[in-house]
Chain A
């Protein structure tokens, strides 16, 4: 059974640019959540998508957005990049998401974004 796939693995962008990250969940999983991981703040929740709808959102500015497609694949977009956006971006898939009983979340390897 294939795991969660994130692309690309590494990305270097310039301040002010925008970036799109992709996540393909485990087959059959309908929930995709996105997290930002930094040494100082640890893992912080960005948002969750379930059946193409954003079901939950963390405390990040509107520059961070996402969407989910009918096949459950999800993309995350960050516009007007800032130096502080440099982080490991992780997505996690689960059957029903964190609001359901089947809450086990499986993570991808992450996309390491460096903003210069």
Chain B
């Protein structure tokens, strides 16, 4: 079993839809949670950064962390065709074996007009 599980998709939605992307993890030592967006042939771009549990909102993006369930989510409101990309969750912690970024495999999102 991988430390971080993420559905690879593809997830195809119409423009304007609310998108929900999720990751589950197995190691309770993770404390820092990130979402990256990666366009084809580009490097990952940091979208959201969250420490421990809770919600964080930035424009159309909301990140949620539920440490009790070992589950993190990224919501995209009013999705746009320009949101079409691969979304990667990543996490790290301070303890041995978590003190590096561990990535999910990424979910490919397609937003059609």
- A residues lining the B interface (CB < 8 Å): 4, 6, 33, 35, 42-43, 45, 48, 56, 58, 90, 92, 98-99, 101, 103-110, 112
Q: By DSSP majority rule, is chain A's interface helix, strand, loop, or mixed?
A: strand
Instruction: Please give me the residue from chain B that is nearest to A99 by CB atom.
Output: B99
Number of interface residues of B (CB under 8 A): 23
- B residues lining the A interface (CB < 8 Å): 32, 34, 36, 41-46, 49, 51, 88, 90, 92, 94, 99-106
Q: Is the CB of B100 within 8 A of A56?
A: yes
Q: Is the CB of A92 within 8 A of B99?
A: no
Q: Is the CB of B104 within 8 A of A42?
A: yes
Q: How close is B99's CB to chain A, nearest CB, in angstroms?
A: 4
Given contacts A43-B88, A99-B94, contact A107 B101 (CB under 8 A): no
Q: How close is A79's CB to chain B, nearest CB, in angstroms?
A: 23
Q: Is the CB of A56 within 8 A of B99?
A: yes
